[in-house]
Amino acid sequence: MAFTLTWPHHPVSLLLTVALYVVHLLVVARAITRPNRIPVSRVAWIAVIMLLPLLGVVAYLLLGETSIGQRRIRRLRAIEARMPLPHDASYAPATIEREAANLFDLCRSINGFFPVAGNRITLLGDAHAPPDMPMVNSDIAIDALVADIETAHEHVHISFYIWLDDHSGGKVADAVAAAAQRGVRCRVMVDALGSRAFTRCPRWRQLREAGAQTVATLNDVPRLGHLAVGRPDLRNHRKIVVIDNRIAYCGSQNCADPQFRVKPKFAPWVDIFLRCEGPVVRQQQYLFLAAWIDETGEALEQLPTAAPLPERFDDNVTAQMFGTGPTSQSNAMSDMFAACIYAARQDLLITTPYFVPDEAILRALCAAPKRGVKTTIVFPARNDSWLVGNASRSMYPALLASGVAVYQYPLGLLHTKSMTLDNEIALVGSANMDRRSLELNYENNLLIADKDTTKVIRERQLGYLAASRPIAIDVVQAWPFRKRLVQNAVGMMAPIL
């Protein structure tokens, strides 16, 4: 039976049909030719656009691009060109093991930062806290942050993705307000989407009235009228605190209680927070200020290097901060994760809450056990994202068949993003192993080469592991057909999540 295409006879209908057809073809062409996109992502978007012509076009216009606008990109590049890199040759490490040196070189290609020795990096929390009380570490971390803010003399710079008006969020806000009132320059930066409730509550007004400068970032993503286009969910996911150019905090922790009242049924949120001193602090300052200057125009380009050189601590503690986002080089975060996995020679332990890796990371993980590397990943047993949880579990069979040990942490949402290699190298920060962190969000991670610091971070990971349940391959293979169908269907869409 022959198929015939019937065109509308009414001129207006015909014109509309032709226009929609042309728009459809143009969007398909754009999805195919969009630069810096992996082939599997192109295929996924073409499938969505072709199978759901109208809905697919709308979805692509809203979610298919990662641009935050050419004007912002040019502005950020100009700011970075004016800012001197925070580096002094006297802080160069005397020696670096080959595996770590290669990772630091890759790190340097992202922001231009050099590895620096002479740091002191402290994992906040109680090493002896029982595994069923993870909120203890969060409370200790917030108390340490508040104590440091209370000692500030010059400035307090804070950037959080989520800041809640709860007990912890309130304590930090009170400390910042008090610092501002005694003359400390306080600059507070939160994500416009992640902290939208906080920017509308009395605490936000309290900070401003005390004299703190406040900014809700990425509140001006490209728009068509009131409709956000070009990934409206692109966010500043970084967690950075810098005090007087001498102390910095980084990790996975937001400014909120572990009970995380906006999603209480998944609580507690189980996080990691590092307190840093030494030359690596100025690298975190650089990342904060680049975003701050972009948002405010305040001329602070010289601040990271204008202060006296920081105090020198342990020469064995070499560290390097790096930040990624939609304006950094393509695949930078993915390259760092994959490179760290390949650098492991004997042991690799990872914790991550959101696992929707690209092909490079998944292949690196599956290859690790075949190279003789004991590879273990700990996920939360319950995920606050139904899509991400199913996409993550769709990859269990491949991981387990390759020899990766998969565990699930049942005592809350394990939000810690951490990786330790061979008891020598650690990677900690804000980035998840999902597309949002790999391609969309602004993230910051810290690479550390020091056995003692790595040992402490690994002990925290082992605490998570001790409280977790192993996932056996025969259990996964016995999952009902309907469950596997849903997981694999969602997993197929991973490139566009």
The per-residue pLDDT for 73 is: 80
Same domain for 132 and 23, yes or no, is no
Whether pLDDT at 84 is above 70: yes
Same domain for 15 and 88, yes or no, is no
The per-residue pLDDT for 110 is: 95
Let me know if residue 3 belongs to a domain: no
Output the 3-class SS for the chain.
CCCCCCCCCCHHHHHHHHHHHHHHHHHHHHHHHCCCCCHHHHHHHHHHHHHCHHHHHHHHHHHCCCCCCHHHHHHHHHHHHHCCCCCCHHHCCCCCCHHHHHHHHHHHHHHCCCCECCEEEEECCCCCCCCCCCHHHHHHHHHHHHHHHHCCCCEEEEEECCECCCHHHHHHHHHHHHHHHCCCEEEEEEECCCCCCHHHCHHHHHHHHHCCEEEEECCCCCEECCEECCCCCCCECCCEEEECCCEEEEECCCECCCCCCCCHHHCCEECCEEEEECCHHHHHHHHHHHHHHHHHCCCCCCHHHHCCCCCCCECCCEEEEEEECCCCCCCHHHHHHHHHHHHCCCEEEEECCCECCCHHHHHHHHHCHHHCCEEEEEEECCCCCHHHHHHHHCCHHHHHHHCCEEEEECCCEECCCEEEECCCEEEEECCCECHHHHHHCEEEEEEEECHHHHHHHHHHHHHHHHCCEECCHHHHHCCCHHHHHHHHHHHHCHHHC
Whether pLDDT at 138 is above 90: no
Average pLDDT in the 280-286 region?
A: 96
pTM score: 0.89
The per-residue pLDDT for 1 is: 47
pLDDT tens digits for range 356-367: 999 999 999 999
Q: Which neighbouring-strand residues pair with 321?
A: 446
Which residue would you say has higher pLDDT here, 9 or 269?
Answer: 269
Query: Which of 319, 345, 369 delimits the end of a domain?
Result: 319
Same domain for 185 and 239, yes or no, is yes
Same domain for 387 and 297, yes or no, is no
Geometric angle at alpha carbon 443, from 438 and 447, rounded to 5°: 95
Q: What percent of the chain has pLDDT over 70?
A: 91
Mean confidence (pLDDT) of the chain: 88
Let me know if residue 315 belongs to a domain: yes
Query: Which of 294, 319, 344 delimits the end of a domain?
Result: 319
Please report which confidence band the pLDDT of residue 378 belongs to, taking 50, 70 and 90 as the band edges. very high
Least confident of 133-137, 265-269, 274-278, 419-423: 133-137
Please report which confidence band the pLDDT of residue 414 belongs to, taking 50, 70 and 90 as the band edges. very high
Same domain for 151 and 266, yes or no, is yes
The per-residue pLDDT for 488 is: 85
The per-residue pLDDT for 8 is: 59
pLDDT tens digits for range 217-241: 988 765 554 444 555 667 899 999 9
Same domain for 84 and 159, yes or no, is yes
Same domain for 267 and 295, yes or no, is yes
The per-residue pLDDT for 163 is: 97
Whether pLDDT at 408 is above 80: yes
Same domain for 361 and 442, yes or no, is yes
Query: Which of 319, 347, 367 delimits the end of a domain?
Result: 319
Whether pLDDT at 493 is above 90: no
Same domain for 84 and 54, yes or no, is no
The per-residue pLDDT for 304 is: 82
Average pLDDT in the 195-215 region?
A: 96
Same domain for 271 and 364, yes or no, is no
Domain count, the chain: 3
Report residue 395: phi and psi, to 5°. Answer: -95, -5
Q: What percent of the chain has pLDDT over 90?
A: 62
Domain span holding position 279: 70-102+113-319
The per-residue pLDDT for 161 is: 96
pLDDT tens digits for range 456-471: 999 999 999 999 999 9
Average pLDDT in the 435-461 region?
A: 94
Q: Report, as residue numbers or ranges, the catalytic residues.
A: 237, 239, 244, 415, 417, 422
CATH of the domain at 93: 3.30.870.10
Dihedral angle sign, alpha carbons of residues 141, 142, 146, 147 = negative
Same domain for 59 and 139, yes or no, is no
Let me know if residue 324 belongs to a domain: no
Let me know if residue 400 belongs to a domain: yes
Whether pLDDT at 291 is above 90: yes
Same domain for 312 and 410, yes or no, is no
Whether pLDDT at 7 is above 70: no
Whether pLDDT at 496 is above 70: no
The per-residue pLDDT for 471 is: 97
